[in-house]
Amino acid sequence: MTEEEKSAVRRKIKALRRQLTEKEKEEKSLAACHLLLPLLSGASSVFCYADLPSELGTDALLKELWARGTETALPRVEGQQIYFYRVRSFSDLKPGAMGIREPGPDCPIVCRPDAPVITPGLAFDRCGGRIGYGGGYYDRFFFREPGHPAFGLCFSFQVAEEPLPREGHDHLMNAVITEQAVWLCC
């Protein structure tokens, strides 16, 4: 897939996400989080993301993880890399790179090489392929720390029927979770 084709996929998915009402986003996000939680039941630490306004929401997931006493860490952009920092409540989050909520300066870095990583993206396939936003932050993170299970979290319309083309640096997801299904990937 050329960069032009990836850009077309990104535009299409962003347009579909913008069509969701706030209520639809909330309902679908809650349903996806309920399907994801059993996959995280044995994890003492979970790396997650703070969603953008049009992304599948993670607030309900974070609240449930905090209620269970699970350590949660969210990414902070530092140069061309992301690092994960402990977050205990939404008050720990501050506006960061590209307007994304990030852990504030008082949050400690978390080093858990086996923590599952809830991974955002614009498109996924059922084999674990992913098209991100084009910055390469998560691919660089997984290259640096390859031992993490990776779970793609998205709306069902973001899952391609056909496998997405992959490049050598693309990291495959272990599972893709939507509001309708969980696909365990090889």
pLDDT in tens, 58-116: 999 999 999 999 999 999 999 999 999 999 999 999 998 778 999 999 999 999 999 99
Overall domain count for the chain: 1
From CA 23, how far away is CA 71, in angstroms rounded?
Answer: 29
CATH number of the domain that residue 14 is part of: 3.40.50.10420
Rounded to whole angstroms, what are the CA distances from 1 to 4, 57, 87, 156?
A: 8, 28, 37, 21
Range of the domain at 140: 3-184
Predicted TM-score of the model (pTM): 0.94
